[in-house]
Structure 1
């Protein structure tokens, strides 16, 4: 990298979050080709191959991540429990048809203590994106529209905006890797990306009871805190996370150090998933992260998991490392999700292609 290139990359990559996580000015990504965009491409690649985490600031106005916009999405958590119970997944409400989409409630005795709501592409594109023969492409159960006026439109707008930001990152990563910018794109036609709304309440004492109770409390910053989300990596290509004013997310470095990711307003946290790590033969890292219950208050966040289509065949891209045996993304995704507490025990409910 030449000295002028280094200067441009340094201007794009600002270490405002500590020694591990860069904060990148996203404006050139959405502009024309040129030196500034090329510098951001390199900054993203550096983050992806080093920490596996970064933040994006100065996103376009059409990306609705301002706190007031996120407030509107999170109104669903104010609905009465008898309404949200109708959205529960089959694991938690046996008569319900939905297996993969919908609501998962709090579960005591685990390292992860959160409730959430998983929404699929049908919220943005309608029933054409639904195939009831596969739980990964099932319809998203929705609350009655009259209880949350305008909410479904807001959710659809947010989903589409996150897709566009992810597609922009996809092209930037390809350019940074030195392959054609459309190298990954075909796999994301008919993608099954998930928009997840999350609520982490303060853990009550009863939530510590169970066989995993000894693993729930950890030491951070010289004090004991509870976990709210166990250490894990994400399965897909990239994840965009909008935090909502309360800290708790931590990236875990190769040396085991846990680094806080501050919840900066109108900023997206980006981490890279196992699919991208596998596709690039380990050159890009899927970084382990966790959530702690250390702020003394409830926490909300909104992650968006950018996923290819269920039947997308993931195969080697020339120039990105050693060859691997092609696989269907849906098979990889299902296997990965079955390791999470909200999906445990459901493996038999999907027939493999």
Structure 2
């Protein structure tokens, strides 16, 4: 195991579905990791390995398709749902183009759903590569379902770690979560001199991100000391990190942690599968009653914005953020 792994906890979450001392111990480990790192690995999550392999293999096949084929499901064709394929350079982080391409999915909603009829942004049907990979749709749907279950389990553990009822987050925020899923493909750097940040430093928007990595590595996190450490792949685990809304809910007790991704210095691309488990689109995210609020860290944040002075519902915050990372969403979708 790499030396840097001594610093990021690996937590078995299987006891969270049980009762008793082991359940409490697992929850306490998650709480300690959230306070100390904002990142942790999980094992014992129960997500089928066959399904994970199908996801990885299908993704490799999709990204190997010609660009004109991938563009048949480009995000601009998904309307206000903003789902589908995005090409290299079309997603920005901190105003800089990411060195990756990807697929974006969310909850599958039919066109006659009330949210879709009301033209609520980021709501609607997904765009799947059915013509070229007809079986990939079900793999993605099944994986999102499995990861939603993992997200609910983790939030139960986080609630316990904070001395809250197990269903605290479920009742207020995640009964009907905003669950977004990306599949990202990073091209390898040709040589060390060709190195670029695949994604520059940032924090995530929502409650919790659960990441499946391939074997290429490249994820780095920033410690409170300012040191950057690697978060390499560990077989059988996912990497989890706190998002801005959990930072807000806990009044800064749990802080969303800066992270970034290096372009892979290998001869093969890097695949990454982040699942974003976030509050309901219409939830009014508020600090937990009675929690001790920490000093606002606006001036230290990468975007210089205070999440603790947020007003409005989560969906407004999310659309604002997504409009920055996908400028085409604003110019081609939201303004029309």
TM-score higher than 0.5: yes
Question: What is the aligned partner in structure 1 of residue 289 from structure 2?
Answer: 318
1:102 to 62, 80, 84: 84
CA contact (8 A) 2:42 2:237 kept: yes
Question: What is the aligned partner in structure 1 of residue 64 from structure 2?
Answer: 78
Q: Give the CA RMSD over aligned residues.
A: 3.1
- CA shift, 1:344, in A, is 6.6
Question: What is the aligned partner in structure 2 of residue 182 from structure 1?
Answer: 167
CA distance in 2, matches of 1:237, 1:15: 28
Q: Give the number of aligned pairs.
A: 314
CA distance in 1, matches of 2:222, 2:332: 32
Taking a change above 3 Å as real, the CA distance of residues 194 and 15 of structure 1, as seen in their structure-2 partners, is same
**Does 2:326 align with 1:346?**
no
Q: Deviation per CA, 1:81-117, whole angstroms, max 9, x where unpaired?
A: 2221022122xxxx76356222111029945211111
1:231 aligns to what SS in structure 2? strand
- CA shift, 1:166, in A, is 0.3
Question: What is the aligned partner in structure 2 of residue 48 from structure 1?
Answer: 34
Question: What is the aligned partner in structure 1 of residue 150 from structure 2?
Answer: 165
CA contact (8 A) 2:184 2:272 kept: yes
**Does 2:181 align with 1:199?**
no
Q: Deviation per CA, 1:210-236, whole angstroms, max 9, x where unpaired?
A: xxxxxxx9xxxxx98421111110001
1:134 aligns to what SS in structure 2? coil
Q: Deviation per CA, 1:310-352, whole angstroms, max 9, x where unpaired?
A: 1122233323344977631101112222332x3477279548x
- CA shift, 1:194, in A, is 0.7
Q: Deviation per CA, 1:253-304, whole angstroms, max 9, x where unpaired?
A: 1222111111122210000100000111001111000001243231111010
**Does 2:136 align with 1:151?**
yes
Taking a change above 3 Å as real, the CA distance of residues 190 and 63 of structure 1, as seen in their structure-2 partners, is farther
Q: Deviation per CA, 1:196-216, whole angstroms, max 9, x where unpaired?
A: 0000012579xxxxxxxxxxx
CA contact (8 A) 2:251 2:288 kept: no
Question: What is the aligned partner in structure 2 of residue 116 from structure 1?
Answer: 102
CA contact (8 A) 1:66 1:266 kept: no
More deviation, 48-57/258-267: 258-267
- CA shift, 1:138, in A, is 2.9
Question: What is the aligned partner in structure 1 of residue 128 from structure 2?
Answer: 142
Taking a change above 3 Å as real, the CA distance of residues 112 and 69 of structure 1, as seen in their structure-2 partners, is closer
CA distance in 2, matches of 1:156, 1:83: 22
- CA shift, 1:67, in A, is 4.0
Taking a change above 3 Å as real, the CA distance of residues 267 and 127 of structure 1, as seen in their structure-2 partners, is farther
CA contact (8 A) 1:116 1:196 kept: yes
Taking a change above 3 Å as real, the CA distance of residues 260 and 316 of structure 1, as seen in their structure-2 partners, is closer
CA distance in 2, matches of 1:56, 1:268: 5
User: Given the two structures, how large is their TM-score scaled by the length of structure 1?
Assistant: 0.79
- CA shift, 1:188, in A, is 2.0
1:229 to 182, 199, 215: 199
User: Given the two structures, how large is their TM-score scaled by the length of structure 2?
Assistant: 0.83
Question: What is the aligned partner in structure 1 of residue 305 from structure 2?
Answer: none
Give 5+ residue unaligned stretches, structure 2. Answer: 294-307
